[in-house]
Amino acid sequence: MKVMSAEEIEKRFGITQEQLDQWEADATAGIFHGEPVGPVYYAPGYGPGRPLMFDEEMKQVGFKEPVSRIGLIDARAAQLGMKRSEYLRHLVEEDLKIAGIA
């Protein structure tokens, strides 16, 4: 891997060190250059990120599974057009409904 000099970087990207320094100072002051590419979500107490899924604090839940079972979970999630996390949330929600506690 070749390490580029500052001059090579400036030539390749058309951005000088002075521009980068100015953009950094502007960003620190809350001034952002360029066009926005989408909304920025701010979760109270958490800062920027994706929109909240629920109207309450969330806590991570995790457990370990054999790699072979994870493959099966992922395959089933894909069949249903879901991500792994969506599929697992769905299973928990459905079980809680069946138990009459959700």
| Most confident stretch, 5-14, 47-56, 81-90 | 81-90
Averaged pLDDT, 62-77? 96
- Are 48 and 41 a contacting pair, CB within 8 Å? yes
Query: Which range is least confidently modeled, 35-39, 74-78, 88-92?
Result: 35-39
pLDDT of residue 6: 82
pLDDT band for 68, please (50, 70, 90 cuts): very high
User: What's the CATH number for 58-102?
Assistant: 1.10.1220
- Are 85 and 94 a contacting pair, CB within 8 Å? no
pLDDT tens-digit map of 49-66 = 666 667 777 788 999 999
Q: Crossing angle for the helix pair 67-79 and 84-98, nearest 10 degrees?
A: 80
Would you kindly state where each structural domain of the chain is located, as residue ranges? 1-34, 58-102
Nearest partner of 84 among 70, 95, 68, 67, judged by Cα: 70
